[in-house]
Structure 1
Amino acid sequence: MKLIQIIKITFLSFFLFIKCTVGPDYQKVVTDRPEFFKETRNSSWKIADPKDDILKGKWWEVYNDPFLNELEEQIDTSNHNILASIAQMEQALALLGQSKAGYFPTIGTNTSITRQRQGSSYTQNPTETTNYSVNLNATWIPDLWGSIRRSVEANEAAFQANQAQVENIKLSIHSSLAQYYFQLRTADKNQSILNEIVECTKKQLDMIHKSNELGIASAVDVQKIESQYELSKLNAEDNLIIREQYEHAIAILLGKAPAEFSLEAKDTNIQIPNLPIILSSELLERRPDIAQAERLVAQANAQIGIAKAAYFPSLNLSANGGYSSNDINNLFTLPALIWSVGASLAETIFDAGARQDKVDAAEANYRSLVNQYKQTVLQALQNVEDNLSAYNHLKSEELYQFNSLNRIETIYNLSNEQLEQGIINSSDLLNAKINLQNSKKSFNDLINKRVLNSINLIASLGGGWKQDLKK
């Protein structure tokens, strides 16, 4: 009991010893940013209320595509890049726990049995003894200067940065999957159009061959239509390549070999969601890459304190107690009790400036990360502005393309009437139909641009992620 009391008093007295934490306390970096995005001024953009209109969680559901939703649900548990980033986050959490262990003493135990012979073989009466011992030892380095506390701060910030990195990778992969999916569906839609063009040119080719046999069409006319027919088949085949490549890309994102995955062709009407725009200050809370950069600054700030703590002496407290006896029956008796307590103070007197160099390096690293954080914010704002600009212009382009498509469709309908009236021939009608199909493809391609842009815009606004850096 006496040993336990001594240990308790020793550790408690030093624990209550006046402690300080060296190094600067972290202050979040302030960045200059505009209140509104440039590309939302003088436009019909709605400023979203953060409580209502902000996309949350499964942002891809705004496209109302059950096939896409099903694929997106598989990503988090099957994509190897996401799983690797989660493992790195778990490693950072373990390092955080390891640094927190420094607050507490290290306690160990040792049990031994020693058989000893004294005297040589020439001694008349050599003696042999057996010693039994059980020891409990404890060591503790009190965190007088805050080195451990700064280490915990650094590892906590590193863990939070890893959390944000996981979300950043998830956002990138979820958005890539959505883009590949819609590009594949656009290819599906275009394939039926391109096949229709092939069929039309084939009919034209058959007609021109008959005309040539009758002496109405020249060989040049035949070669011209044959060239158009070959090009139409080429375009149809090329679209199949695009479709298959996107299918392979989706398989890889899902953690599967391309041979293990296929997606049935489907004519999908892609819906472009109307997206509300938020204030830039809210953007900083939603983008995981910005949160990650800010947490790395916090980690660097704590590392300055760790470096400065090396200037101060370190105190090492130790205690050892147990029992030792030559007779195992008397091992746990008072006469067999042994104990010791001690303290040591260590201080570096000369290191040729090594500690100052470490402090300088930590401070330089902090300044570097501060500027990287500010640059990340600026790049994020540019990313949003670029996508907003494209969103506005592509929406106008869609209207123009839609109007053009309607006029070409009207021309085709009028051509049907003219054919019935004998004003034009079947070849002219086929030309009108081919023009209509090409216009439909152009419209589909524009819709594809718009949906890809909307995905980029959602991603640039942080997707559905909201900062929640909890341990």
Structure 2
Amino acid sequence: MKIRLIALMSLAGVIALSGCTVGPDYKRPTLDVPLEYRQISKEVEDNAQWLTARWWTQYQDPAIDALVSSAIKNNRTLQQTMSNVEKAAAAVTVARADLFPQLNYQGDAMRQRQSINTAMGEALQGKPFSTKEVLASASWEIDLWGKIRRKTESATATLRSMEAAHKAALSSVITSVVTTYLSILTVDEQLEVAKETANSYYQTYSLFKVRATHGNVSDMEVAQAKSQWQSAKVEIPVLQQSRVELMNSLSILTGVDVGDMPKFKRLRALKVPAIGKGIPSKLLTERPDIVEAEENLKAANADIGAARAMYFPSISLSGGLGFSSEELHDLIKSPSRVWSVGGNITGPIFHWGAVEAGVKQAEAQQKGLVAAYRLAVSQAFADVDNALSKRQKALQELKDRTGLVASLKEYKRLATAQYQEGYTGYFTVLQAEQSLLPQQLQLAQVRANTLSSIASIYQSLGGGWIDLALQEERQAIADLEREEQLKKEIQEASPEEREENSLM
């Protein structure tokens, strides 16, 4: 029996391996993409080594390094996407398992009485009897048309898609931590400017009130000074509320309580990360969202094959071997042996168009994902072009606005000097000061834009830095699992063992 069953299974395996796989094999769609980036020189070298570094460390701010590490370890979004990866990996195992024989065991014990109106019951004269069975069985669906292989192919592509989605989330989280941190430093600088300006305006207002009592300043000038001070004051609570909201956002991203945040640097103290000359030619295989889109397309392509395989019959083999006896002491003796072997074939005849509709549904899904993949590639090139342009324009704006603020400060100095010497009215000073404050606030924002543009470039290009972050995340997960295991062992330990561990 064993030899026959093994021979039958082997023959089925040969048939399955030599069988065809229905449905289209995957081919990457043709893409209409630009040959070069518009915002960079044609003479750049194709060298992407600078994309493999932890770029956020180049700001030379320990707070950024600590916050990024905390986000990699604690971010809830990353925990969700990682669970999706684990789920998809399990689905691959489930799909692949159908390629192999399914082995099962079964045990039964029963006591029953047959009706005396049946042949068996009449022979037993209505007496009850017992049966005991121990069986091992095997079943196998022969993947003659490649349905199971296509389902496995689809599940594998879905797994890769989930892994790419997790990497995309990791990239987004790190970029968000850096840009949110830079926004906080921007608000801090703006608050500093607003407070210093409001304090200066208040001193002017106070001075004018004193001079007005002696008739040296008109009431209108006092009113102008007061309104100027109050205008500067109203900026402060707005900026303070913005900082509260940004700090809470940073806390959510990193899992660090607002009160436990590391010491922040000043915006002007940060170093500007370098951007290498090489733009990678393998952008399409580097960006996680493009990988995700293509793997989704591969999965849909495989689903077409699985749907088309439903047109053809399913063939399966089954066999069983065991013992059956009325008495337990005779159960495993040779005369109690039982066996069975058989085959099954099932195919569609008339399903009211359900099989054809399933194929059309899979094909429509694939067409939609082809469009999604092409859109992802086009969007990737646009993102890179926009990020590079943003960087160039931010540098130019920083240069121009720095010069503008310097000119307005000189204008204010000259206007104040002429007013003090009696050559002009206070309105000229007021005009100069009112022009300076918003430009100082905007200068802080432009300085932050220059720094955050680096993050946009790295995020748009992808690259090996995401893999480095992924390694750090895996290490953090492993460390956390070890800590949890240690806590569990301590909780399960006896009081003596706990005391011994505490002394170690």
TM-score under structure 2 length normalisation: 0.83
Instruction: Tell me the residue number matched to 1:30.
Output: 30
1:275 and 2:271 aligned: no
Instruction: Tell me the residue number matched to 1:158.
Output: 158
Question: Are the counterparts in 2 of residues 135 and 320 from structure 1 also a CA contact under 8 Å?
Answer: yes
Q: Structure 1 residues 243-252 or 403-412, which shifts more?
A: 403-412
Provide the C-alpha distance between the structure 1 equivalents of 2:362 and 2:151, rounded to a whole number of angstroms.
13
Q: Could you list the per-position Cα deviations for residues 175-202 of structure 1 after superposition, in whole angstroms to 9, with x for gaps in the alignment? A: 1111110010111122222111112111
Q: 1:451 deviation in Å?
A: 2.1
Question: Are the counterparts in 1 of residues 147 and 306 from structure 2 also a CA contact under 8 Å?
Answer: yes
Letter in 2 for 1:108: N
Q: What are the equivalent positions in structure 2 for 1:243-322 lying under 5 Å apart?
A: 243-255=243-255, 262=261, 266-269=265-268, 270-276=270-276, 278-279=278-279, 281-322=281-322
Provide the C-alpha distance between the structure 1 equivalents of 2:156 and 2:377, rounded to a whole number of angstroms.
22
1:92 and 2:88 aligned: yes
Q: Could you list the per-position Cα deviations for residues 242-279 of structure 1 after superposition, in whole angstroms to 9, with x for gaps in the alignment? A: 21111111011123666x65565653323333323654
Question: Are the counterparts in 1 of residues 54 and 468 from structure 2 also a CA contact under 8 Å?
Answer: no
Provide the C-alpha distance between the structure 2 equivalents of 1:335 and 1:49, rounded to a whole number of angstroms.
76
Provide the C-alpha distance between the structure 2 equivalents of 1:373 and 1:467, rounded to a whole number of angstroms.
26
Q: For 2:98, what is the secondary structure of its paired residue?
A: helix
Question: Are the counterparts in 2 of residues 33 and 280 from structure 1 also a CA contact under 8 Å?
Answer: no
Q: Could you list the per-position Cα deviations for residues 136-182 of structure 1 after superposition, in whole angstroms to 9, with x for gaps in the alignment? A: 11111111111111011000000000001111111112111111100
1:14 and 2:12 aligned: yes
Provide the C-alpha distance between the structure 2 equivalents of 1:279 and 1:273, rounded to a whole number of angstroms.
16
Q: What are the equivalent positions in structure 2 for 1:333-352 lying under 5 Å apart?
A: 333-352=333-352
Instruction: Tell me the residue number matched to 1:239.
Output: 239
Instruction: Tell me the residue number matched to 2:184.
Output: 184
Provide the C-alpha distance between the structure 2 equivalents of 1:263 and 1:401, rounded to a whole number of angstroms.
31
Letter in 2 for 1:14: A
Q: For 2:397, what is the secondary structure of its paired residue?
A: helix
Q: 1:285 deviation in Å?
A: 2.0
1:221 and 2:221 aligned: yes
Q: 1:77 deviation in Å?
A: 2.2
Q: What are the equivalent positions in structure 2 for 1:454-469 lying under 5 Å apart?
A: 454-462=454-462, 464-465=465-466
Q: Could you list the per-position Cα deviations for residues 291-328 of structure 1 after superposition, in whole angstroms to 9, with x for gaps in the alignment? A: 10010110011001101111111111010111112233
Question: Are the counterparts in 2 of residues 116 and 128 from structure 1 also a CA contact under 8 Å?
Answer: yes
Cα 1:350–1:468 change in 2 (3 A) is farther
Provide the C-alpha distance between the structure 2 equivalents of 1:5 and 1:359, rounded to a whole number of angstroms.
41
Provide the C-alpha distance between the structure 2 equivalents of 1:222 and 1:467, rounded to a whole number of angstroms.
61
Q: For 1:103, what is the secondary structure of its paired residue?
A: coil
Cα 1:304–1:253 change in 2 (3 A) is same
Aligned residues: 458
Question: Are the counterparts in 2 of residues 107 and 136 from structure 1 also a CA contact under 8 Å?
Answer: yes
Cα 1:354–1:116 change in 2 (3 A) is closer
Letter in 2 for 1:147: K
Q: For 1:385, what is the secondary structure of its paired residue?
A: helix
Instruction: Tell me the residue number matched to 1:67.
Output: 63
Cα 1:354–1:438 change in 2 (3 A) is closer
Letter in 1 for 2:458: I
Q: For 2:466, what is the secondary structure of its paired residue?
A: coil
Letter in 2 for 1:306: A
Question: Are the counterparts in 1 of residues 158 and 299 from structure 2 also a CA contact under 8 Å?
Answer: yes
Letter in 2 for 1:6: R
Question: Are the counterparts in 2 of residues 415 and 424 from structure 1 also a CA contact under 8 Å?
Answer: no
Cα 1:423–1:208 change in 2 (3 A) is closer
Provide the C-alpha distance between the structure 2 equivalents of 1:69 and 1:431, rounded to a whole number of angstroms.
43
Q: Could you list the per-position Cα deviations for residues 361-409 of structure 1 after superposition, in whole angstroms to 9, with x for gaps in the alignment? A: 2112111111110011111211222222222222111122233344455
CA RMSD in angstroms, aligned pairs only? 3.1
Provide the C-alpha distance between the structure 2 equivalents of 1:96 and 1:322, rounded to a whole number of angstroms.
32
Q: Could you list the per-position Cα deviations for residues 92-129 of structure 1 after superposition, in whole angstroms to 9, with x for gaps in the alignment? A: 11101100100111221122222234678xx9976343
Instruction: Tell me the residue number matched to 1:200.
Output: 200
Instruction: Tell me the residue number matched to 1:4.
Output: 2
Cα 1:432–1:48 change in 2 (3 A) is farther
Q: For 1:465, what is the secondary structure of its paired residue?
A: helix
Letter in 2 for 1:319: G
Cα 1:441–1:126 change in 2 (3 A) is closer
Cα 1:106–1:226 change in 2 (3 A) is same
1:365 and 2:361 aligned: no
1:398 and 2:394 aligned: no
Provide the C-alpha distance between the structure 2 equivalents of 1:56 and 1:228, rounded to a whole number of angstroms.
51
Question: Are the counterparts in 2 of residues 114 and 132 from structure 1 also a CA contact under 8 Å?
Answer: yes
Q: 1:91 deviation in Å?
A: 0.6
Unaligned runs of 5+ in 2: 117-121, 471-504
Q: Could you list the per-position Cα deviations for residues 325-348 of structure 1 after superposition, in whole angstroms to 9, with x for gaps in the alignment? A: 223332222211111101121111
Q: 1:8 deviation in Å?
A: 0.9
Q: For 1:39, what is the secondary structure of its paired residue?
A: coil
Q: Structure 1 residues 91-100 or 460-469, which shifts more?
A: 460-469
Structure with greater helix share of residues:
2
Q: Structure 1 residues 396-405 or 229-238, which shifts more?
A: 396-405
Q: Structure 1 residues 448-457 or 303-312, which shifts more?
A: 448-457
Letter in 1 for 2:101: P
Provide the C-alpha distance between the structure 1 equivalents of 2:467 and 2:295, rounded to a whole number of angstroms.
15
Instruction: Tell me the residue number matched to 1:212.
Output: 212
Letter in 1 for 2:3: Q
